[in-house]
Amino acid sequence: MFSDDVEYSVIGKRVPKADAIYKATGQAKYIEDVFLPGMLHGKILRSPYPHARLLRIDFSRAAKVPGVKAAITSADTTKVKYCQMPISPNKMALADEKVRFIGDEIAAVAAIDEEVAEEAINLIQVEYEILPSVFDPEKAMEADAPQIHADSPNNIAAHFVRTFGDMEKGFREADLILEDRFTCPPVAPCVLEPHGCIAAFDVAGKLTIWTSTQNPYNVQRALAIILKIPLHHVRVLNTTVGGGFGNKSTILSIEPIAAFLSQKTNRPVKILNSRHEEFTTARTRYGMVIYLKTGLKRDGTLTAREAKVITDNGAYNNKGPGITSVTCNRIGNLYRVPNTRTEAFVVYTNNQSGDALRGWGGPQAHFAVESQMDRIAEALELDPVDFRIRNANQSGDVTPWGWQITSCGFIECLQEAAKMVDWRQKRKNRPLGKGIGIAGAIHTGGGSTGTHGKGNYSEVSLKINSDGTVHLTTGDSEIGQGSDTVFAQIIAEELGVAVEDVKVISTDTDITPVGMGTWGSRVTFVGGNAAKGAAEMAKRQLLEMAAEMLEADISDLEIKNRQIHLKGKPQKSLTLSEVAHTCIVKRGKPITSKMTYQPEHTQAPDPQTAYGNYCPAYGFGVQIAEVKVDLETGRVKVERIAAAYDVGKAINPMLIEGQIQGGIAMGMGYALLENLQVEKGKVLNPNFCTYKIVNSTEIPAIKIHLVETIDPYGPFGAKGIGELATIPTAPAIANAIYHATGARIKDLPITPEKILEALKNRREGKQEEMGSRGKA
């Protein structure tokens, strides 16, 4: 078993979050809580048609509404097309000639209050030429499909193939080949706090923008590009973020629209999304169709895995190709598979675009692979846990894709999860309608290189105050996951101070170092390493001064509990504040440090082949779900979930549990409930009443076991798990439902109707559309 056998003061402790007191009392300021003198409210006119040419826009009636201060179309903007990722940008803040999805931004108004703005929007008259539209990505690829972007024939935004090994050999060696088709629909992120911003241009043409974001620097860069102003003229202030999950990692259109309106009116302009706009325009998890084919030997060894992935890119480019390449690389690297081929088509449709969302393509890949792994285990009459252990990634592996697996507790997680639930008994003794299923997961535990066309670094700046307290500034954002608290713990441990002695500032582009932001479960690992390094440097400076004051050797000193003392002679000591005061005030020597951490053992994947070790620390997790299915209604109750996670080192177990419990609820929604019902491009259920996310009465009992593999590169051995938390849930539930009912559902969400239909088909002896083929 793993252990570092180290006694820590603060690492590993269940420290409450520093910002919790503000959030518990209503004092935390979210974007909706910020009011500025002279502030106007902006509203957006959105297309009611999924695909149309804009012929004429008439503001004459709208402009007459008292209290309207500005009305703009794309003609009033720079018409710059923007995309955060290094792919073809094709989204303008306001549509120029065509609208391409229901909700596409056409015009905007700034007025003295929301009501006046809303009234004005409703009075804008637009003449449209309606164009044919397409909503299914597979249909959108056909020759006669309507063309959505002039430069993308067959609506293909991206197409790539990744091959590793010898596919022909791999399938030839297989005793059994299974093929399945899985569908994962787009789902809504459902951040509780809607997107919003306030843009304020000053008289000198400098812009300040308040917004709820996972990366203020992404917002800064985007607005500088779109508005054609220098970076130092854009200041982004991150308000308290009420949920991100990836959905607030880049801008929507509301930010540049607010900026253009502010530019025109010379007043601050606030735009807040309504919940309706959140569901219809704030983007979704990318919907995908996955054709998966796997070859294996009788003894359970995987020989080859081939996949075709078709992603619904939506109307405009955002992160479709990047996320689809993650789906492909998970298909290629989850478990040991010597030969893999993945082909991906990322296809435009007249739906709203997709976005980053917890897991970044991983949930789709895992639903497919782990459902099929279960089918394989059954075909070979192998226990699903044993079968996975047999093929699990292990420490020291270098996968065919070039991934270097350093710390890895995959097998331990499989074993511990099975132990937690008494797996073998429950698998054998199965009362009708009750089932148990397992799924494993791999994900980045420290971000990745090359994903956004750049590296994977974090920079922090640290100063010790003259009373021994600490200020840390970082470009990585606190979005509720607790990164500010984790930084404080790391620094407190390193500097021998209390957690409450550390203040973390992560919210102002004028003050903090440039950050890459919060994504890819990277902040604990990359940001944490930067914080630890900066603390080590500051500690050195403190010890140098203390050595002088105590007339001792630096190597004989240690810092603990805000005291610097001689090792073994605690009576010969100084307080940290005495030393800091001497340094800073008496000697005029500030104690500051700066550290940039970028992992050295990672590379951006090769642009052609995708080969490369792109993540500094891969995380692993396993969930086992126990369900009870009502065979008459098809309703599923998830009774228990056992979760075992390789976290490297649990810096704050309470925060980690929170991630796992929250991830399970999100994964449950993905598996069973969440269904964005779209008909001809129109979202039919754009509200929490008819789009269901898990509520408090539906959650299972959750048992958690953390495996500490002590990653060689992580701060104190830690890796990230924020996304891993949600990735195995849907396939674990799907596998449990199969175990309970014999119904294998390959199309999310697994609704009661689908279960009843599958049970009916089994009773009537109907075959599955894609099955297994064996060799004699």
Partner 1 sequence: MKHRITLTVNGELQDIMVESHQSLLDILRNEVGLTGTKKGCNSGDCGACTVLLNGKAVNSCLVLAAELGGSEILTIEGLLRGRDLHPIQKAFIAHGAIQCGFCSPGMIMAAKALLDLFPIPTEEQAKRAISGNLCRCTGYTKIIEAIMDAHKFGKS
State the residues that interact with partner 1 by CB under 8 A.
14, 16-17, 19-30, 32-33, 190-194, 240-245, 274-275, 479-482, 654-655, 657-658, 660-666, 687-689, 693-697, 699, 702
Alpha-carbon distances, residue 538 vs 5, 407, 463, 542 (angstroms):
26, 29, 8, 6
Q: What's the min distance (Å) between Cβ of 25 and partner 1?
A: 6
Task: Look up residue 83 and give its two tokens.
Answer: 């995309």
Give the three-state DSSP class for 71. Answer: strand
Query: Which residue, 323, 226, 331, 326, is CA-closest to 283?
Result: 323
CB nearer to partner 1: pick between 24 and 75: 24
Q: Which residues have C-beta within 8 Å of that of residue 297, sequence separation ≥ 6? A: 173, 174, 175, 176, 303
Q: What's the min distance (Å) between Cβ of 196 and partner 1?
A: 10
Exposure string of 677-708, with b = 16+ CB inside 10 Å and e = fewer, is ebeebbbeebeeeebbbbeeebebebebbbbb
CB nearer to partner 1: pick between 608 and 697: 697
Q: Are 518 and 243 in contact (CB under 8 A)?
A: no
Q: What's the min distance (Å) between Cβ of 69 and partner 1?
A: 19
Q: What's the min distance (Å) between Cβ of 623 and partner 1?
A: 13
Q: What's the min distance (Å) between Cβ of 275 and partner 1?
A: 4
Q: Are 651 and 489 in contact (CB under 8 A)?
A: yes
CB nearer to partner 1: pick between 99 and 190: 190
CB nearer to partner 1: pick between 204 and 689: 689
CB nearer to partner 1: pick between 214 and 509: 214
CB nearer to partner 1: pick between 241 and 309: 241
CB nearer to partner 1: pick between 145 and 656: 656
Instruction: Specify the residue for token string 């000697």.
Output: 587
Task: Look up residue 230 and give its two tokens.
Answer: 């220098």
Ordered DSSP codes for 188-254: ----SS--EEEEEE-TTS-EEEEE--S-HHHHHHHHHHHHT--GGGEEEEE---S--TTTTSS--SH
Q: Which residues have C-beta within 8 Å of that of residue 659, sequence separation ≥ 6? A: 481, 721, 722, 725
Number of Cβ atoms within 10 Å of the Cβ of 394 = 11
Q: What's the min distance (Å) between Cβ of 661 and partner 1?
A: 4
Task: Look up residue 28 and give its two tokens.
Answer: 């935390």
Q: Which helix (H) or strand (E) holds 581?
A: helix 576-581
Q: What's the min distance (Å) between Cβ of 502 and partner 1?
A: 18
Q: Are 394 and 410 in contact (CB under 8 A)?
A: yes
Virtual CA dihedral for 676, 682, 686, 692, nearest 10 degrees? Answer: -20
CB nearer to partner 1: pick between 227 and 421: 421
Q: Which residues have C-beta within 8 Å of that of residue 585, sequence separation ≥ 6? A: 466
Q: What's the min distance (Å) between Cβ of 362 and partner 1?
A: 18
**Rounded distance, CA 381 to CA 375, Å?**
10
Q: Where are the strands (E) in 278-336, listed by range? A: 284-285, 288-296, 302-314
CB nearer to partner 1: pick between 223 and 417: 417
Q: What's the min distance (Å) between Cβ of 10 and partner 1?
A: 16
Q: What's the min distance (Å) between Cβ of 654 and partner 1?
A: 4
Q: Which amino acid is at 339?
A: N
Q: What's the min distance (Å) between Cβ of 561 and partner 1?
A: 22
CB nearer to partner 1: pick between 608 and 696: 696
CB nearer to partner 1: pick between 203 and 689: 689
CB nearer to partner 1: pick between 394 and 695: 695
CB nearer to partner 1: pick between 194 and 717: 194
- Phi-psi bin for 681: left (phi > 0), alpha (psi -120 to 50), beta? left
Give the three-state DSSP class for 434. Answer: strand
Instruction: Establish whether the linkage from the previous residue to 749 is cis, with ω within 30° of 0.
Output: yes
Residue 496 half-sphere exposure toward CB, CA atoms < 13 A: 20
Q: What's the min distance (Å) between Cβ of 24 and partner 1?
A: 4
Q: What's the min distance (Å) between Cβ of 538 and partner 1?
A: 29
3-state secondary structure 110-179: EECCHHHHHHHHHCCEEEEEECCCCCCHHHHCCCCCCCCCCCCHHHEEEEEEEEECCHHHHHHCCCEEEE
CB nearer to partner 1: pick between 16 and 86: 16
**Rounded distance, CA 375 to CA 439, Å?**
12
CB nearer to partner 1: pick between 25 and 425: 25
CB nearer to partner 1: pick between 339 and 652: 652
Alpha-carbon distances, residue 450 vs 110, 157, 519, 602, 610 (angstroms):
39, 19, 13, 10, 10
CB nearer to partner 1: pick between 15 and 234: 15
Q: Are 755 and 745 in contact (CB under 8 A)?
A: yes
**Rounded distance, CA 124 to CA 61, Å?**
7
Q: Are 51 and 132 in contact (CB under 8 A)?
A: yes
Task: Look up residue 4 and give its two tokens.
Answer: 């570092």
CB nearer to partner 1: pick between 31 and 745: 31
Q: What's the min distance (Å) between Cβ of 743 and partner 1?
A: 26
Q: What's the min distance (Å) between Cβ of 333 and partner 1?
A: 28
**Rounded distance, CA 101 to CA 103, Å?**
6
Q: What's the min distance (Å) between Cβ of 666 and partner 1?
A: 7
Q: What's the min distance (Å) between Cβ of 516 and partner 1?
A: 20
**Rounded distance, CA 381 to CA 387, Å?**
10
Q: What's the min distance (Å) between Cβ of 243 and partner 1?
A: 5
Q: Where are the strands (E) in 280-424, listed by range? A: 284-285, 288-296, 302-314, 339-348, 354-355
